Amino acid sequence: MSDEAEQNTEELGRSLAAKLEHLLRVTAPAGQKAPSNEDVATAINIAAGEKTISATYVWQLRTGRKTNPTMRHLETLAQYCGVSAAYFLSDEEAAKIDDQLALLDALKQSDAQNIALRSTGLSESSRRAVSNMIDQLRKLEGLSDSDFG
């Protein structure tokens, strides 16, 4: 996709394919790539106890060849990724969930996770001090709050 086309897509809201691909990538376990279409379909079908979706259909959704799935398919895909089906239906909901996923992604990084775990048990004032130090370091390195994820 060209930079211009990508920018236009972002301005108008992301496609279902872009949302699904993003979800599959960011919800993958730390250090692992996004699951294959077969992995997604198999996990969904096992959880449902019946064949509800095929790997081919997952591929069609991920690539934008199919753009109008049933609500049942959206719900099963959302459940697989651990989000609400509203993620696929509302750009506003998707943005809220993406913010939460960005935080989760940051916590997957071992250093961030280590800092968070080591702060357990500290008093509120100590946690605030650590947070203030991180804010100052971000400023020194030219990072803004919107640079998370």
Q: Tens digit of pLDDT for each residue in 105-144?
A: 777 766 777 777 788 888 999 888 988 888 888 888 888 7
Look at residue 6 in the predicted model and tell me its pLDDT.
38
Tokens 């990508």 -> residue: 6
**What ranges do the domains of the chain cover?**
3-90
For the chain, count helices (H), then strands (E): 9, 0
Look at residue 149 in the predicted model and tell me its pLDDT.
45
Dihedral of CA atoms 112, 92, 24, 61 in degrees, nearest 10, equals -170
User: How far is 53 from 101, CA to CA, in rounded Å?
Assistant: 25
Q: Is 122 in contact with 130 (CB distance < 8 Å)?
A: yes
Look at residue 2 in the predicted model and tell me its pLDDT.
35
CA distances from 141 to 31, 118, 135 (A): 26, 23, 10
Q: Is 45 in contact with 53 (CB distance < 8 Å)?
A: yes
Q: Which of 54, 56, 89 is nearest to 71 (CA)?
A: 89
Look at residue 7 in the predicted model and tell me its pLDDT.
36
Q: Which CATH class is domain 3-90?
A: mainly alpha
**What pTM value is reported for the model?**
0.65
Look at residue 28 in the predicted model and tell me its pLDDT.
86
Look at residue 38 in the predicted model and tell me its pLDDT.
97
User: How far is 83 from 74, CA to CA, in rounded Å?
Assistant: 11
Look at residue 147 in the predicted model and tell me its pLDDT.
55
Tokens 């690539």 -> residue: 63
Q: Which residues of the chain have pLDDT under 70?
A: 1-12, 109-110, 145-149
